[in-house]
Amino acid sequence: MERLQNIKLFLLDMDGTLYLGNRLFEYTPSFLSAIRKQGNRYLFITNNSSKSVSAYVEKLASLGIAACEEDFLTSSQATAYYLHQHHNGARLFVCGTESFKRELQRAGFTVTETVDEADCVVMGFDTELTFAKLEQVCRALCTRDLPYIATNPDVVCPTEFGSVPDCGSVCEMVYNATGKRPIVIGKPSPLMIQLAMHKCGVKPEETAVIGDRIYTDIKSGLNAGALSILVMSGETTEEILAASPDKPDLILPHVGYLFGKEFRQ
């Protein structure tokens, strides 16, 4: 595949692409080292805004993959980037975890205790959600019509026992109460991919997005004009692939096939 020859930056989804839950795929270490041996770069990208980057560094280390904070791009970081571009200096009411709030503070924003002092409402994947926070969000949207931004559209987050509601589900609860929907930052929006390209100084034609979900990973790649590569090692089945209106540029059984000859187009 000719487009693959031009790729300098590989943006990698993690769960379902490099590992499944707590099980590292056997071909992942050699895949990662092949990218570096070629003189190219990879970044791990995630829609999950409930965990800090340092928690991801630890997670990969526990699986045997050495990584540093600069190797990651999260929807929290992309949200801070978006807020700087569109609402610079805004005071934020954040419905999110304490670690997400600290990340926004480190990015230079003031995080308020109540919506009364806020200029913007930010919704994350809040694993510390309370009804009081939801009530504040609804009050801000009903009475003040503040700008409303969400880190990611995922409806559920996989766990070892099944799934729990993610940011997208909580946004639906708020929509049912207020009729307002947020601007959503994470995949499938191209914003995270554009931020990665900007950080690494590469163009869309030099960038590949690799992931196991069509409606987030693949769509974000297509939306950003990057090469989109679907791996069948996670969520997508042949039935889902056949029914999807979004077609990946390349389909592989798993990332171990990327630098081999056996792939489907």
Among 13, 103, 154, 166, binds Mg ion (CB under 5 A): 13
Nearer to Mg ion, 16 or 186 (CB): 16
- Identify whether the C-beta of residue 40 lies closer than 8 Å to the C-beta of residue 9: yes
Nearer to Mg ion, 16 or 124 (CB): 16
Q: Work out whether the CA dihedral 77, 57, 231, 265 comes out positive or negative.
A: positive
DSSP state of 15: B
**CA distances (Å), 20 to each of 137, 184, 233, in order?**
34, 26, 8
- The stretch near Mg ion (CB under 5 A) out of 15-23, 76-84, 166-174, 189-197 is 15-23
Nearer to Mg ion, 72 or 148 (CB): 72
Check binding of 166 to Mg ion (CB under 5 A): no
Least distance between Mg ion and beta carbon 214 (Å): 11
- Identify whether the C-beta of residue 9 lies closer than 8 Å to the C-beta of residue 43: yes
Nearer to Mg ion, 109 or 257 (CB): 257
Least distance between Mg ion and beta carbon 35 (Å): 18
Check binding of 212 to Mg ion (CB under 5 A): yes
Least distance between Mg ion and beta carbon 140 (Å): 32
- The stretch near Mg ion (CB under 5 A) out of 90-98, 110-118, 208-216, 252-260 is 208-216
Nearer to Mg ion, 16 or 248 (CB): 16
Q: How far apart are CA 80 and CA 93, in angstroms?
A: 13
Least distance between Mg ion and beta carbon 59 (Å): 14
For residue 188, whether the previous peptide bond is cis, meaning omega lies within 30 degrees of 0, is: yes
Q: How far apart are CA 8 and CA 65, in angstroms?
A: 21
Check binding of 103 to Mg ion (CB under 5 A): no
Per rule CB under 5 A, count of chain residues that contact Mg ion = 4
Nearer to Mg ion, 57 or 214 (CB): 214
Least distance between Mg ion and beta carbon 16 (Å): 4
Q: Would you list the DSSP string of 153-208?
A: --SEEEETTEEEE-HHHHHHHHHHHHS---EE-STTSTHHHHHHHHHHT--GGGEE
- Neighbouring CB atoms inside 10 A of 116's CB total 12
- Enumerate binding residues for Mg ion (CB under 5 A): 13, 15-16, 212
